[in-house]
Amino acid sequence: MKSETKLKFGRKVVSVEEARNLLYSYAEQLDTEAVPLFSAFGRRLAVPIYADHPVPHFRRSGVDGYAVRSEDIKHASADQPIRLNVIEMIPSGTVPQHTVYAGTASRIMTGAPVPDGADVVVMLEMTDSFQDKELYSSWVSIKKNIPEGSNITPIAGEIGLGDLLLAPGTRIGAGEAALLAAFGYAEISLYRKPKVAIFATGSELLQVEERLQPGRIRNSNSYMLAAQVEAAGGIPVLMPILSDDASQVRSAIEEAFHHADLVLTTGGVSVGDYDVLVDVFEQFNGHLLFNKVAMRPGTPTSAAWWRNKLLLALSGNPGAAFVGFELFAKPLIQKMLGSLTPEPKAISAYLDVDYNKSSAYPRYIRGTTLVQNGSLWVKPAGIDKSSIMISIKDADCLIYLPAGGQGFERGSLVIVYPIPNLRSQSQIF
């Protein structure tokens, strides 16, 4: 058998998980860069962050009121209020000057340091204050016994000195941004964003600005993938359209490896006469990782380790390219960015349609989620054919249907992989 026929027809099928693990085993850990905190949202930390001070670092009042000794107000009641001499006013941002001794209190604001001697802060609402004009002094009367420690956050009450705050690989969201700011990280060390070169292959393809011509279509895949790369946290680099010419494709990809961390192609991985990536893989100095995945769409999705970089060759059909990106390229980009859990996250939802088509391979159907009576339901985003492009904009998840012939009834619980940030109309993701 000629090797060409072998690559086209004698392919060894791997599962989606096997294919992903193969890719992971070749994923390069990218170098790091220092980034201003304000530009770091959505990116991942390259280093662990430890607390170099406790929080709070002083005994902090949680309310507006009076810092007193619990001993002094032990017998306070509405009938027999306890009168204390107010010795100081402590606004937030200042440091108390006086110790609270027996019979005294200090007026204190939320967030201010509790003075020595005081072991409780009584809320303003539970007190009456008054001035003694003759003595030029002010007094507070307290009508309730409040237990020791009330309304005071002790030193390290929230975070201990040396605590691990954020592990490497953590994505910086609102809570992480708050922590980093609180600990003085004006700049942080992040993994560099991978540069992802995107090639479209196919002699039928026109540039987006070209007029339609008989028998030809505009290259839509590259723009779809660029949006997906950006949403995944990478830097998309749009490369020229390549015609179905193996030597042109080979040299263009080899050249791109000089600049890109990952190369994506669409088209030419199937068993047609002009499937150019197959011809490239016949004669190249790289290592073919897989060229057939147990999935639909995108069964001929292929990948290679070539010149110490990864090439992911997706199907040309827009639906298949979209799904292939979400299943393989996105986790890869997440891994390069330092994620420790890069896999698509599975949730479950009720199927909102009967689905009767059987399949020899698991299906990953572009789906639309909807909330009905407080539960998550899902339905195919449109006609479920890999050549269909119009429904991609309505997809906010992939519906996973295992291989087999029995079909699925409306109301079945199915596995769904959300695709956040891509569908502007999504109710949920």
Question: CA dihedral in degrees (413, 15, 420, 323; nearest 10)?
Answer: -110
Residues 51-110 that bind ligand AMP (CB under 6 A): none
277: helix, strand or coil: helix
187: partner contacted, choices ligand AMP, Mg ion, none (Cβ within 5-8 A by kind)? none
The residue nearest ligand AMP at its CB is 316
Nearer to Mg ion, 277 or 381 (CB): 277
The 374-403 site mask, x for binding ligand AMP (CB under 6 A), equals -------------x----------------
Least Å distance between CB 217 and ligand AMP?
A: 6
Q: β-strand 195-201 against 262-266: which pairing, if any?
A: parallel
Determine, following the binding rule CB under 6 A, whether residue 316 of this chain makes contact with ligand AMP.
Answer: yes
Determine, following the binding rule CB under 6 A, whether residue 318 of this chain makes contact with ligand AMP.
Answer: yes
Q: Cis link prior to 56 (omega < 30° from 0)?
A: yes
φ and ψ at residue 186, rounded to 5 degrees: -70, -25
315: partner contacted, choices Mg ion, ligand AMP, none (Cβ within 5-8 A by kind)? ligand AMP
**What is the distance, to the nearest Å, from the Cα of residue 51 to the centroid of all Cα atoms in its chain?**
23
- CA atoms of 178 and 176, how far apart (whole Å): 5
Least Å distance between CB 382 and ligand AMP?
A: 16
Of 372, 266, 331, 247, the residue nearest 23 (C-alpha):
331
Determine, following the binding rule CB under 6 A, whether residue 426 of this chain makes contact with ligand AMP.
Answer: no
32: partner contacted, choices Mg ion, ligand AMP, none (Cβ within 5-8 A by kind)? none
- Member of 202, 286, 300, 331 binding Mg ion (CB under 5 A): 202
CA separation (Å) from 289 to 13, 103, 311, 324? 11, 80, 10, 15
Residues 243-282 that bind Mg ion (CB under 5 A): 267-268
Least Å distance between CB 215 and ligand AMP?
A: 10
What residues are paired with 397 via a beta bridge? Answer: 367, 418
Total residues contacting ligand AMP (rule CB under 6 A)? 19
Residue type, 26: Y
Determine, following the binding rule CB under 6 A, whether residue 367 of this chain makes contact with ligand AMP.
Answer: no
200: partner contacted, choices Mg ion, ligand AMP, none (Cβ within 5-8 A by kind)? ligand AMP
Q: β-strand 347-351 against 309-314: which pairing, if any?
A: unpaired
Least Å distance between CB 368 and ligand AMP?
A: 22
Residues 78-137 that bind Mg ion (CB under 5 A): none
What residues are paired with 296 via a beta bridge? Answer: 363
Buried b (16+ CB within 10 A) or exposed e, 228-253: bbebbbbbbbbbebbebebeebbebb
- CA atoms of 202 and 27, how far apart (whole Å): 28
61: partner contacted, choices ligand AMP, Mg ion, none (Cβ within 5-8 A by kind)? none
User: DSSP class of residue 327?
Assistant: I
CB atoms within 10 A of CB 8: 19
Interface residues with ligand AMP (CB under 6 A)? Answer: 200, 202, 204-205, 217, 219-222, 266-268, 270, 272, 315-318, 387
Interface residues with Mg ion (CB under 5 A)? Answer: 202, 267-268, 316
